[in-house]
A and B are shown apart, each in its own frame.
Chain A
Amino acid sequence: MTNTKSHILESVSRLIFLFIIIFSIYLFLKGHNQPGGGFIAGIAASIPLFLLAMSLGVSTVKRVLKVDSLTLAATGLIFAYGTAFVPTVLGYPFLFQKMIHTHVPILGELHIGTPVLFDLGVFMVVVGVSTKIIFSFLDVVNSKEKV
């Protein structure tokens, strides 16, 4: 796949990378009470990474990402476990959530709370695992093509 380089795919995926990432952040923040949240945002955020990996090569994307996929997923799990477990130490039930409802001058109503951290963990797990899966498939495809 790397030797048959497609300029169209490469420039399009570079172009839409930013937009999809912004959309995924939108999905991430919209979550909890409305459709959205960590899982969908994670899937959305990993799609441009797949596109880049297909157009630029897996090794390039891995180098740019700097983080190993499994490490990313494990860090995400730490976040998720932490938000689940910290309440038990503080005397609340497992997975207890705390929400803050405030009014920010320009942006308007703001609901934010510990579920955001949990969702961040889910986001990282999803990005880590899905990139791990797709990158291993691409590696296999590339190595077969070289042979």
Chain B
Amino acid sequence: MIHILQSLINNIVVLPFFVALVTALVGIMWRLPGSGRRLFFSVSASIQVILACFIIFLTHKVKILFLPVGAWKAPFGISITIDIFGSLLIGITTLLSLFAILYLFATLKKSKENPLLLPLIQFMIAGIILSFSTGDFFNLFVSFEIFLIASYGLLTLKSDESSIKNAFPYLGINVIGGTLFVLGASFVYGMYGTLNFADISAQTSHLAQDPKLILIASYLVLVFGIKAGFFPLFYWLPRSYSCLPAPVAALFAGLLTKVGIYAIIRTLTTIFPLGLVSIYSAIGYLSIFTMVVAIIISLSRSNIREILCYNLISHIGFLMAAIAIFSPISLTGGIFYMMHHMVVIASLFLISGLVIQITKTDVLKDSGNVWKHHGFVGVLFLVQALSLAGLPPFSGFWGKFLILREAIRFDQVSVAAAIILASILTLLSMIRIWFHVFLKKNDGLKMGSVPKGFKRSTTVVSILVLFSLIMGIFSNPFISASNKAMSLLLNKSRYENKVLSYEQTLKMETDSHSSHSENDAHSKDVTKKDTNHHMESNHDTHKEVKHSSKHFKLESISKKEVSNGSSVH
């Protein structure tokens, strides 16, 4: 029993991902929606939250968790790597999925539940978790595809004409994005002979001025920018998000665009050398346009969810600004802002769902009266809206403050001006919703009886809002966690050492595996002409002993001092 537990802890990095996959599978087998199935899904989502918390705890102790999948050594096999940054995002992801599922249970009748809804959500969560924990480009592509395919399914679940029409641009842009991504991965493989983040990082450490490297890095940033919703490429987002049911829209808004931002941060810090100034300044210009243009469009929209969608895009611009400034403090602010924004935008979408439950309409003009009849929902909205606009003491303030301060410190006047302008306009767009939906008296609107499940869904949302409040008022642990995540991102050699010179302590098979892996190493050797792989194969016959026939050390790595950071394994 203890052996099994120990072994599970050794494999902890894949567990949240795997639990989500298994849940999805059980959901597919367990066809009929019902109470038992719902209980199972909520228990599983809670287990994922607990696992994610455990991973956050572990990463704070040992910094980087690493698992060579199938015991293949790092540059050759798939490496699952979670550092503090990834673990924090996994934590928020699982938390949001739990709340979205609970909200869904409160509002959706069992008879109207599509049997594929919950499995698809779990597949999407699994894909997102995998993309936060993967350590090589191809696996990142695979995880993008997992959550994208699930999201196509979620968008067209109603399979009526309007949802298919709205899903089509989303599908088109993401298929193109996926193709470009896989092409980019093949370019990377062609140039460096590897897809592993740590290996690319080790090989390109002295190439910061290389035009080819700048080209490939900016190409990848562009590809991830399509996912994140950069300035010219965001038109698809509001159309598709605003036709979803509230909890699913909350998950989409909270998580999907952030995966793009995560991938950009990973590309510019962990993978490629620091100091690609031209890319940073390009992102800076794009961020100005993203922030300002999107928020101006949001002022012209006339329904709640589209306003929220454009606010979401505008705030992607803030994250881009944090990347563009690229100082340690701005990155800390960016990471904190990312966590804050995932929670806040998701809860705003859930609150918009509550409002729509009450007023039965999404359009500002037809809405009204909510403050008078349901003041509590108004309070929830107010807290999150002010947090989104970035007023102290709410959580949005701290991230924005750090980013803005760094923008001023580095004389990025236009970025700073855009941040201030976009924040004011965010406040304005929130005030528009506040006035039209909450304060305005609308006698034509019939306030029917409170819909079933309204209380439960309000409770779920208020817990999420409480979490967001805690992030704002007791922001210290969150900011220090982001700071740790940032310093680990910028300390590239630590990541490289952890992945490339990982000492295998899990027990391994000697006879059956060694000849096989030698073949593999030889074939890789042919492809990678620029680096000489030294293969040390000493054939141990012991089974349980730490076995080194699979240790092909890169020459360049073995020269470096091996980090003495203790490992979990």
Whether A93 lies near B512 (C-beta < 8 A) is no
- Residues from chain B with a CB closer than 8 A to the CB of A92 are 7, 71, 506-508
Contact mask for chain A residues 55-99; partner B; CB cutoff 8 A; 1 contact, 0 none = 000000000000000110110011001001100111111111111
Whether B512 lies near A91 (C-beta < 8 A) is no
The answer for the CA separation of A81 and B513 in the assembled complex, in Å, is 21
Whether A93 lies near B11 (C-beta < 8 A) is yes
Given contacts A74-B28, A88-B8, A113-B512, contact A81 B22 (CB under 8 A): yes
Given contacts A88-B7, A88-B8, contact A94 B69 (CB under 8 A): yes
- Residues from chain A with a CB closer than 8 A to the CB of B508 are 92
Interface size on B, residues (CB 8 A): 29
The answer for the CA separation of A92 and B4 in the assembled complex, in Å, is 10
Whether A101 lies near B512 (C-beta < 8 A) is yes
- Residues from chain B with a CB closer than 8 A to the CB of A71 are 29
Given contacts A88-B11, A91-B3, A93-B71, contact A98 B509 (CB under 8 A): yes
Contact mask for chain B residues 1-39; partner A; CB cutoff 8 A; 1 contact, 0 none = 001101110110010001001100100110000000000
Output the nearest chain B residue to A99 by Cβ-Cβ distance: B512
Given contacts A77-B25, A81-B22, A84-B18, contact A91 B506 (CB under 8 A): yes
The answer for the CA separation of A69 and B513 in the assembled complex, in Å, is 36
- Residues from chain A with a CB closer than 8 A to the CB of B22 are 81
The answer for the CA separation of A97 and B7 in the assembled complex, in Å, is 16
- Residues from chain A with a CB closer than 8 A to the CB of B506 are 91-93
Given contacts A81-B21, A81-B22, A84-B18, contact A95 B512 (CB under 8 A): no
- Residues from chain A with a CB closer than 8 A to the CB of B516 are 99
- Residues from chain B with a CB closer than 8 A to the CB of A99 are 512-513, 516
The answer for the CA separation of A96 and B22 in the assembled complex, in Å, is 18
- In the complex, whether B114 has a CB less than 8 A from a CB of chain A is no
Output the nearest chain A residue to B11 by Cβ-Cβ distance: A88
- Residues from chain A with a CB closer than 8 A to the CB of B21 are 81
- In the complex, whether B225 has a CB less than 8 A from a CB of chain A is no
Within residues 93 to 137 of chain A, which ones have a CB less than 8 A from any CB in chain B? 93-101, 113
- Residues from chain B with a CB closer than 8 A to the CB of A100 are 512
Whether B515 lies near A93 (C-beta < 8 A) is no
- In the complex, whether B70 has a CB less than 8 A from a CB of chain A is yes
- In the complex, whether B437 has a CB less than 8 A from a CB of chain A is no
- Residues from chain B with a CB closer than 8 A to the CB of A95 are 69-70
- In the complex, whether B68 has a CB less than 8 A from a CB of chain A is yes
Q: Would you give the shortest CB distance from A58 to chain B, in whole angstroms?
A: 19
Within residues 219 to 234 of chain B, which ones have a CB less than 8 A from any CB in chain A? none
The answer for the CA separation of A101 and B519 in the assembled complex, in Å, is 14
Q: How many inter-chain residue pairs (CB < 8 Å) link A and B? A: 68
- In the complex, whether B67 has a CB less than 8 A from a CB of chain A is yes
- Residues from chain B with a CB closer than 8 A to the CB of A84 are 18
- Residues from chain A with a CB closer than 8 A to the CB of B513 are 97-99
Q: Would you give the shortest CB distance from B114 to chain A, in whole angstroms?
A: 14
- Residues from chain B with a CB closer than 8 A to the CB of A70 are 28
The answer for the CA separation of A33 and B10 in the assembled complex, in Å, is 29
Output the nearest chain A residue to B31 by Cβ-Cβ distance: A70
Whether A93 lies near B28 (C-beta < 8 A) is no
- Residues from chain B with a CB closer than 8 A to the CB of A101 are 512, 515
Given contacts A77-B25, A78-B25, A88-B7, contact A93 B18 (CB under 8 A): no
Whether A93 lies near B69 (C-beta < 8 A) is yes
Output the nearest chain B residue to A89 by Cβ-Cβ distance: B4
Output the nearest chain B residue to A113 by Cβ-Cβ distance: B512
The answer for the CA separation of A93 and B25 in the assembled complex, in Å, is 22
- Residues from chain B with a CB closer than 8 A to the CB of A89 are 4, 7-8
The answer for the CA separation of A51 and B437 in the assembled complex, in Å, is 57
Within residues 502 to 518 of chain B, which ones have a CB less than 8 A from any CB in chain A? 506-509, 512-513, 515-516
- Residues from chain B with a CB closer than 8 A to the CB of A74 are 25, 28-29
- Residues from chain B with a CB closer than 8 A to the CB of A113 are 512
Output the nearest chain A residue to B70 by Cβ-Cβ distance: A95
The answer for the CA separation of A70 and B153 in the assembled complex, in Å, is 15
Output the nearest chain B residue to A93 by Cβ-Cβ distance: B71
- Residues from chain A with a CB closer than 8 A to the CB of B80 are 94
Q: Would you give the shortest CB distance from B521 to chain A, in whole angstroms?
A: 14
Q: Would you give the shortest CB distance from A65 to chain B, in whole angstroms?
A: 18
Given contacts A77-B25, A100-B512, A101-B515, contact A93 B4 (CB under 8 A): no
The answer for the CA separation of A77 and B10 in the assembled complex, in Å, is 24
Q: Would you give the shortest CB distance from B459 to chain A, in whole angstroms?
A: 34
Contacts beyond the supplied A89-B4, A89-B7, A94-B70: 13 A-B pairs with Cβ under 8 Å: A74-B25, A81-B18, A88-B8, A88-B11, A90-B7, A91-B7, A93-B69, A93-B71, A94-B11, A95-B69, A97-B70, A97-B513, A98-B509
Residues in chain A within 8 A of chain B (CB atoms): 33, 70-71, 73-74, 77-78, 81, 84-85, 88-101, 113
Residues in chain B within 8 A of chain A (CB atoms): 3-4, 6-8, 10-11, 14, 18, 21-22, 25, 28-29, 67-71, 80, 506-509, 512-513, 515-516, 519
- What are 19 residue pairs bridging A and B, where the CB atoms are less than 8 Å apart in the complex? A33-B519, A77-B28, A81-B18, A88-B7, A89-B4, A91-B3, A91-B6, A91-B7, A91-B506, A92-B507, A93-B70, A94-B11, A95-B69, A98-B512, A98-B513, A99-B513, A99-B516, A101-B512, A113-B512
